[in-house]
């Protein structure tokens, strides 16, 4: 019965390429006995849209050959960051070493910002991980001739898969988790703590970001996210924290022994 409903939910094209696990997690949140099947379908789709596909516009997917910058400006999340990419990547990478491996988890279309690494003279290998299959395909086809850019269609809830991806490869490893932690928390409270505890020792540094103003209305909002700040300062080595273009970034690494 539940399988049938999940199948129905995924019949909408927008959700057809989401990992089964993520659709199930959202469905579980909604699946209470007092709701009708129609309500469950509608409410699950509404929450899926909020977490995963709100930025997925038809325009973004239909256009075949535009340049990287065109894509970055079409997605609400990267559009805001656009004027700051060079400064941001300089701040994050600085003098981290010769060969950098970036794992961008819940990347959306941030893979299109790859040219900014090159522009700043960094030798970066970029790996994007994203649950929305359409966004993965779009970027894969764009970068099909580049050996330095790759994408995985996976869920961040599949910790074994993420572990496998991050363990592969050599160089200075940096994880990006830009504007994605809140989505994980909606579905599983404290999952981000579990995730960071597992992941941080595997890499040289982790960069978390949060929006500090509403993407739609541009209004500044106050959300200091004390829980995650406390968790980071108690468990990791806080490297740097800064605001840039409506986004707050926290850089940290494993605690020195
Ligand atoms: C607000 S967007 C941010 C995109 C990108 N990190 C950026 O800042 O440009 C959040 C992205 O995380 C993805 N996402 C959310 N939960 C995820 C999960 N459990 N596994 C993989 N991707 C996820 C969404 O599909 C969406 O593309």
Per-residue pLDDT tens digits for 128-154:
999 999 999 999 999 988 999 999 999
257 CA to middle of ligand 1, Å? 32
Tell me if 138 CB under 6 Å of ligand 1.
no
Residue (of 215, 194, 202) closest to 172 by Cα position: 202
- Is the C-beta atom of 30 inside 6 A of ligand 1? no
pLDDT band at 59 (very low <50, low <70, confident <90, very high): low
Distances (CA, A) of 170 to 97, 98, 117, 148: 12, 11, 18, 13
Q: Are residues 142 and 103 in the same domain?
A: yes
Say how far apart CA 131 and CA 53 lie, in whole Å. Answer: 10
Tell whether 13 and 70 lie within a shared domain.
Answer: no
Are 15 and 44 in contact by the 8 Å Cβ rule? The answer is no
Q: What is the CATH number of the domain that holds 101?
A: 3.40.50.150
Residues 6+ apart with CB under 8 A from 58: none
> What DSSP element (H or E) covers 250?
strand 247-254
Confidence of residue 170 (pLDDT cuts 50, 70, 90): confident
Of 85, 131, 157, the one to substitute when testing ligand 1's pocket (max ligand atoms within 8 A of C-beta) is 131
Residues 69 and 7 in one domain: no
Do 40 and 81 share a structural domain? no
Of the residues 21, 138, 181, 183, which should be mutated to test ligand 1's pocket, given the most ligand atoms within 8 Å of the CB? 183
Are 36 and 74 in a shared domain?
A: no
Q: Which helix (H) or strand (E) holds 238?
A: strand 236-244
Residue 210 sits in the same domain as residue 152: yes
Cβ 113 under 6 angstroms from ligand 1 = no
Same structural domain for residues 48 and 105?
no
Distance CA 124, CA 115 (A): 10
As a whole number, mean pLDDT of residues 156-174 equals 95
Q: Which of 33, 53, 73 is the last residue of a domain?
A: 53
> What pLDDT score does 63 carry?
63
Domain count, the chain: 2
pTM: 0.91
Range of the domain at 214: 59-254
Tens digits of residue pLDDT in 76-91 = 778 889 999 999 999 9
Q: Mark whether 72 and 101 lie in a shared domain.
A: yes
Average pLDDT over residues 210-236: 77
What mean pLDDT, rounded, does the chain reach? 90
Contact 156 CB / ligand 1 (< 6 Å): yes
Q: Which of 17, 32, 53 is the last residue of a domain?
A: 53
**For ligand 1, is residue 106 a contact (CB within 6 Å)?**
yes
What separation, in Å, do the N-terminal and C-terminal C-alpha atoms of the chain show?
A: 51
User: Rounded to the nearest whole angstrom, what is the distance from the C-alpha of residue 99 to the centroid of ligand 1?
Assistant: 26
Q: Are residues 151 and 32 in the same domain?
A: no
Statement: residue 105 has pLDDT above 80: yes
Tell me the mean pLDDT in the region 122-127: 96
Q: Is 78:112 a contact under the CB 8 Å cutoff?
A: yes
Please name the residues in contact with 51: beta carbons below 8 A apart, sequence gap of 6 or more. 26, 183, 186, 187
3-class secondary structure per residue, 150-200: EEEECCCCCHHHHHHHHHCCCCEEEEEEECCHHHHHHHCCCHHHHHHHHHH
In this structure, what token pair is assigned to residue 207?
């960069």
Q: Are residue 162 and residue 222 in the same domain, yes or no?
A: yes
Residues in Cβ contact with 189 at an 8 Å cutoff, skipping those fewer than 6 apart: none
Q: Is the pLDDT of residue 119 over 70?
A: yes
Q: What is the pLDDT of residues 23-49, one digit of tens each?
A: 999 999 999 999 999 999 999 999 999
Q: Same domain for 237 and 187?
A: yes
- 48 and 139 together in one domain: no
Tell which of 37, 53, 69 closes a domain: 53
| Contacts for 109 with CB less than 8 Å, ≥ 6 apart | 55, 60, 71, 72, 74, 75, 77, 78, 135, 138, 139
Q: How does DSSP classify residue 21?
A: H
């Amino acid at each position: 019965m539940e399988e049938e409903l999940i199948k129905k939910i995924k019949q909408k094209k927008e959700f057809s390429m989401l990992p089964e696990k993520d659709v199930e997690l959202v469905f579980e949140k909604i699946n209470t006995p007092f709701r009708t099947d129609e309500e469950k379908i509608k409410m699950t789709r509404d929450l899926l849209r909020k977490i995963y596909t709100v930025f997925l516009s038809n325009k973004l997917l239909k256009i075949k050959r535009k340049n990287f910058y065109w894509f970055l400006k079409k997605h609400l999340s990267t559009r805001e960051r656009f004027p700051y990419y060079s400064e941001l990547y300089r701040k994050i990478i600085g003098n981290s070493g010769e060969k950098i491996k970036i794992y961008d988890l819940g990347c959306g279309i941030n893979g299109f910002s790859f040219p900014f690494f090159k522009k700043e003279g960094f030798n970066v290998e970029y790996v994007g991980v994203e649950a929305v299959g359409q966004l993965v395909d779009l970027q894969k086809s764009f970068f099909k001739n580049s050996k330095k850019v790759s994408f995985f269609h996976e869920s961040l809830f599949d910790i074994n898969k993420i572990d496998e991806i991050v363990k592969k490869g050599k160089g200075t490893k940096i994880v990006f988790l830009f504007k994605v932690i809140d989505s994980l928390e909606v579905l599983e409270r404290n999952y981000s703590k579990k995730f960071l505890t597992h992941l941080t020792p595997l890499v040289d540094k982790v960069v978390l970001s949060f929006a500090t103003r509403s993407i739609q209305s541009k209004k500044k909002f106050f959300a200091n996210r004390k829980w995650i700040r406390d968790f980071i300062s108690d468990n990791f080595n806080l490297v740097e924290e800064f605001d840039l273009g409506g986004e707050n970034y926290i850089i940290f690494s494993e605690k020195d022994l």
